[in-house]
Structure 1
Amino acid sequence: MIYKEVVAKLAQLTRALVRAVVTGTVDPPPGQWRRRVRVPWFPGPRRPTVDLVRLGDRVLAFVLFAGGVAFMEGPAAAARWPYDKSYLVIVSAAFSLPLVLRDRWPLAAWRCALLSLPVGVSVTGDFLSPPYTPGAAIACLLVAYSAAVRCDRDITVGVWLVSSAMAVVIDVGTAVPAVIGVTVAVLFGYNVRARRLAAGKLAEQERRAEDAFAERAALAERARIARELHDVVAHHMSVIAIQAEAVPLQARGDAGLLAQGLAEIRTLSLKTMAEMRQVLGVLRDTEGAPATSPQPGLHLLDDLVATARGAGLTVTVSVSGELGDLPGTAGLTAYRIVQESLSNAMRHAPRSDVTVELTRDDGGLRIRVASSLPGEPGPTPYVERGPVGRRPGLPGGPSGHGPAEHGPARYGPAGHGLAGMRERVALLGGTFHADRVGEEFTVTATVPIRTEAG
């Protein structure tokens, strides 16, 4: 077992060495940590930009090149070095050239530095001890750091091993400080890489969290708009449909009564369109400006009751407490609950008796809407439809008001009316209940009353 682990570690180490020396690749340069400036003296409106990191590398390479030549000339002259001084220029250029490459190709720059050391030492070893210049040492440490910053862990380990081995081979006397310097440079580069990766992951998580928050906000807004559209369309369209059917029967050929009924339908249609424009205006507002049109509330309760009575319902309203100073959200919720309850009564129990009770006390606003069920067997607003999807017990045909062909009707939630009312109340922290009680279907809700700031 230990033998297999040793073999696996040796294989991993071999792969790290091969990747560092031959096949390894690097990450792209981190753009968010770069600084670019425009060239101030360049003529024309489109001035080029200069990467300060690469500019700094080139300046440092030139300084080390010039300093290396000056540093070697003295010991070479003292040792009466027999070769031409052009060799010193070439060696100094070979030592400093990796700095020019380390930003664009850090691993290639480290490999160049690794090859230039033994070649340069073969020249400088005759008159320098240790056999490399301070500029060469600085360049080797910087390219090792760059490789550790831009390469993964295996390549970094390979860079450290090869650099340490090269330091021992070139000069045993200075091997310890050289290995320590390489170790510090590699560990520092690895730490910088780890911090950058962590910062990148954190930024990605923050971006995903913002996207998720925006998506949830969009879904909530869509649900709110859907509830508003359902309440507007379900109520007013039900009244329009009932009046369109009843007006010709009531007029009985009287042109005056017919014109009056059609005028009422037109007025209600225009009101419906106005409310739909108000709701859909949220979708058209690209600037996110809040709606400025007044929202419906219990101050429009009389108009709502009058419309229901005009559609054939017998509506009795009982109000207890002051409702004039209700916050906008609570008033809108109460209005929509009463509106949806009356709409359900119009659609499923026409000409029925409806009782609306509104009671305000310290516990909030209590709403109770009770409507009598139709006398003949048939659906209520909360009847599930059979597989064919047509409502049983009402006259009609393909419009959905004919007898059910499959399965008996049974009481339970259907459609989005109850769900919308329940969601509205739940958003305010209230309670909602809807069920059949004797010969009535009763909707009860408790809406807490808070100030808009709270």
Structure 2
Amino acid sequence: MGGGALRALWDEPRVIAPAGSAWWDRALVAGLVPVTALEAGLREDMVWPLWHAGWALVCVATLLWRPHHPLAMLIVVYAAQTVAGVVPALAGEPNSVPDVTAVVLLVAYSLGRWASGRAVVAGSCYLLVLHLAREPLYDSSGSSMALGAAALMLPVAIGALARFWARSQVRAREEIRARERERLARDLHDTVAHHVSGILMHARAAKVRARTDPGAAAEAIDGVEDAAARTLDDMRAMVALLRQDERAGDDRSPTYGIADIPRLARERGPGPRVVVRTSGDLDRLPAPVGSALFRAAQEAVTNAGRHAQDPSVVSVDLRGNESTVRLRVHDDGRPATLGRGRRASPSYGLVGMRERLSLLGGTVSAGPDREGGWTVEVTVPVAMVDSEAGS
């Protein structure tokens, strides 16, 4: 174990044992008590049977508290085993103690699994010192003492490894949850921002038209109602996705995909006209890629409607071939004037777009176009995505 691992172990806090783990220890004690009594009563080579049985039962009883007080139980069980064997040895009696080695090893494992890092170090030192001090009384050889020390340290190490493995599993689950929350935050932003922008534009149009043409205002209000209904449907779909059983795992499909990009086209209504063109082999794209491209197109169209200066057309071009899928969203808004730059800093949606596409090996670029307006370009390598999806 390296220095870094030792420092990590030293700083480890105490681990709280699961509440349901106590039944196993109670069952183990219930089975070992009669076995210990039978061994002490039936073994003809055992001197002082009551003495040995009493100390053996003390060792067995420590199993009831080993997950909650691992260091204290280790001290008790190894001291009890030592006293039970050393006192008869000092009196000249043969070494005929009951076999409680399994109990000692279980408590040593509990030390590495549940105790704090400092308690693990203190308990390990206690085991080694007491082991090396008592073994000469049993006329143990040097190799036997070394083997015994290794046997005592092995369950401590296994317990520590189990502790670190369980901790890594918890951290892995937390990272998965964090990534899922980030993905849902991006989806929520993309969905709500797109639809609320549409509602806002319809509402502004209705406000202006109400002064001169009540009929046109009613038509604009109908657009508000339709946009609000779509927003509600999307939010319900997202909530349904969140409520799916965790056993579904990665089988959950994205809410939108490539086939939904043409839905962004808009010929009428407030805001710029949106024209969508698609070409190439797009049907075989994996679902995550289709969802990411739809969200990228949606975000770019939304930003054009909200921030571009007097745009008339937003064009969405999606092209796919055997190796690459390219998405280009361009608006023909006027160039930004000083002090009115709409994109002086990246928006949350653009940051989320880049994060989403980077996970698929894609790239995103956004900026003013030399021919005027603003252009967002997305490139995703299909070969990379296919190999990852199949692995």
TM-score normalised by structure 1 residue count: 0.63
> Higher mean Cα deviation, 285-294 or 241-250?
285-294
Aligned length: 334
Aligned equivalents of 1:148 and 1:233: distance in 2? 56
Are residue 436 (structure 1) and residue 356 (structure 2) matched? no
- Mark the CA change 1:265 to 1:161 in structure 2 (over 3 Å): closer, same or farther: closer
Are residue 137 (structure 1) and residue 95 (structure 2) matched? yes
Per the TM alignment, residue 141 of structure 1 is displaced from its structure 2 partner at its CA by: 8.8
1:52 is aligned to 31
- Assess if the C-alpha contact under 8 Å between 1:301 and 1:335 holds in 2: yes
Per the TM alignment, residue 92 of structure 1 is displaced from its structure 2 partner at its CA by: 6.0
- Assess if the C-alpha contact under 8 Å between 1:35 and 1:52 holds in 2: no
Q: Deviations over 1:307-354 (max 9, x none)?
A: 7x5232033444332444543222222222221111111111254032
- Mark the CA change 1:59 to 1:152 in structure 2 (over 3 Å): closer, same or farther: farther
Aligned equivalents of 1:299 and 1:225: distance in 2? 21
Are residue 364 (structure 1) and residue 324 (structure 2) matched? yes
Per the TM alignment, residue 264 of structure 1 is displaced from its structure 2 partner at its CA by: 1.4
Q: What is the one-letter code of the residue matched to 1:110? A: T
SS in structure 1 at match of 2:248 = coil
Q: Deviations over 1:121-156 (max 9, x none)?
A: 5xxxxxxxxx53xxx42129979x959986644554
Aligned equivalents of 1:141 and 1:50: distance in 2? 15
Per the TM alignment, residue 369 of structure 1 is displaced from its structure 2 partner at its CA by: 1.4
2:181 is aligned to 222
Q: Which of 267, 290, 293 is residue 331 of structure 1 equivalent to?
A: 290
Are residue 382 (structure 1) and residue 343 (structure 2) matched? yes
Q: CA RMSD in A?
A: 3.7
Aligned equivalents of 2:127 and 2:284: distance in 1? 72
2:299 is aligned to 340
- Mark the CA change 1:367 to 1:159 in structure 2 (over 3 Å): closer, same or farther: closer
- Assess if the C-alpha contact under 8 Å between 1:367 and 1:446 holds in 2: yes
Per the TM alignment, residue 60 of structure 1 is displaced from its structure 2 partner at its CA by: 1.8
2:151 is aligned to 192
Aligned equivalents of 1:239 and 1:420: distance in 2? 20
Aligned equivalents of 1:368 and 1:312: distance in 2? 19
Aligned equivalents of 1:92 and 1:366: distance in 2? 84
Aligned equivalents of 1:317 and 1:257: distance in 2? 27
Aligned equivalents of 2:128 and 2:379: distance in 1? 67
1:300 is aligned to 260
- Mark the CA change 1:379 to 1:338 in structure 2 (over 3 Å): closer, same or farther: farther
- Assess if the C-alpha contact under 8 Å between 1:102 and 1:108 holds in 2: yes
Q: Which of 69, 76, 82 is residue 110 of structure 1 equivalent to?
A: 82
Q: What is the one-letter code of the residue matched to 1:440? A: G
- Assess if the C-alpha contact under 8 Å between 2:297 and 2:316 holds in 1: yes
1:157 is aligned to 129
Q: What is the one-letter code of the residue matched to 2:140? A: I
SS in structure 2 at match of 1:194 = helix
- Mark the CA change 1:142 to 1:321 in structure 2 (over 3 Å): closer, same or farther: closer
Q: Which of 349, 354, 375 is residue 308 of structure 2 equivalent to?
A: 349
Q: What is the one-letter code of the residue matched to 2:296? A: I
- Mark the CA change 1:253 to 1:321 in structure 2 (over 3 Å): closer, same or farther: same
Aligned equivalents of 1:341 and 1:335: distance in 2? 10
Q: What is the one-letter code of the residue matched to 1:137? A: N
Q: What is the one-letter code of the residue matched to 1:157? A: V
Q: Deviations over 1:383-425 (max 9, x none)?
A: 2xxxxxxxxxxxxxxxxxxxxxxxxxxxx32x21111111222
Question: How high is the sequence identity, in percent, across the aligned residues?
Answer: 27
- Assess if the C-alpha contact under 8 Å between 1:149 and 1:193 holds in 2: no
SS in structure 2 at match of 1:216 = helix
Q: What is the one-letter code of the residue matched to 2:41? A: F
- Assess if the C-alpha contact under 8 Å between 1:320 and 1:360 holds in 2: yes
Q: What is the one-letter code of the residue matched to 1:254? A: D
- Mark the CA change 1:323 to 1:250 in structure 2 (over 3 Å): closer, same or farther: farther
- Mark the CA change 1:342 to 1:94 in structure 2 (over 3 Å): closer, same or farther: closer
1:42 is aligned to none
- Assess if the C-alpha contact under 8 Å between 2:206 and 2:218 holds in 1: no
Per the TM alignment, residue 247 of structure 1 is displaced from its structure 2 partner at its CA by: 1.7
- Mark the CA change 1:162 to 1:201 in structure 2 (over 3 Å): closer, same or farther: closer
> Which residues of structure 2 form unaligned runs of 5+?
1-19, 63-75, 109-122
Are residue 311 (structure 1) and residue 270 (structure 2) matched? yes
Are residue 422 (structure 1) and residue 383 (structure 2) matched? no
Per the TM alignment, residue 366 of structure 1 is displaced from its structure 2 partner at its CA by: 1.1
Structure with bigger gyration radius: 1
SS in structure 1 at match of 2:361 = coil
Are residue 209 (structure 1) and residue 181 (structure 2) matched? no
Q: What is the one-letter code of the residue matched to 1:436? A: P
- Assess if the C-alpha contact under 8 Å between 2:84 and 2:97 holds in 1: no
Aligned equivalents of 1:325 and 1:94: distance in 2? 78
- Assess if the C-alpha contact under 8 Å between 1:160 and 1:182 holds in 2: no
SS in structure 1 at match of 2:266 = helix
Aligned equivalents of 1:148 and 1:302: distance in 2? 65
2:238 is aligned to 279
- Mark the CA change 1:374 to 1:32 in structure 2 (over 3 Å): closer, same or farther: same
- Mark the CA change 1:247 to 1:380 in structure 2 (over 3 Å): closer, same or farther: farther
Q: Deviations over 1:239-272 (max 9, x none)?
A: 1111100123234443332222211111111111
